[in-house]
Amino acid sequence: MREQLEKHFVDGFFVRSYGKLIDKGIDASMLGIVYPFEIYETNDPRVISTVNEIEKRLVINGGVHRYGFNELRMKYKSPFAHWCDPIKCLLYLQSF
């Protein structure tokens, strides 16, 4: 699994993917590489840069979106679709 994840470290952060298709969008569920799956340590520079990108692009008005707002509006026609579990995301982000 780690080998596959290495292929998805693009532009300085881990990106989401669908099989072999790499999507350069950010996805807060990538935090799962640290918890609960424990594939990487919290102090890994790649994890830190991914968390920074999530904070920059997905933390909006105190909530953590799973995907970027514009992507959601186009796909689901709703500004409220697919929030990341806010408690898990915020607990993780506060560990830095």
Each residue's pLDDT tens digit, 67-79: 876 554 445 444 4
More confident residue, 93 or 81: 93
Taking only the tens place, the pLDDT of each residue in 22-42 is 777 888 989 999 999 999 999
Total-model pTM = 0.69
Strand partners, 18: 21
Q: In 22-58, which positions are buried (b, 16+ CB within 10 angstroms) versus exposed (e)?
A: eeeebbbbbbebbeeeeebeeeeeebeebbebbeebb
Cβ atoms of 79 and 73 closer than 8 Å: yes
> Rounded to whole angstroms, how far apart are CA atoms 88 and 24?
23
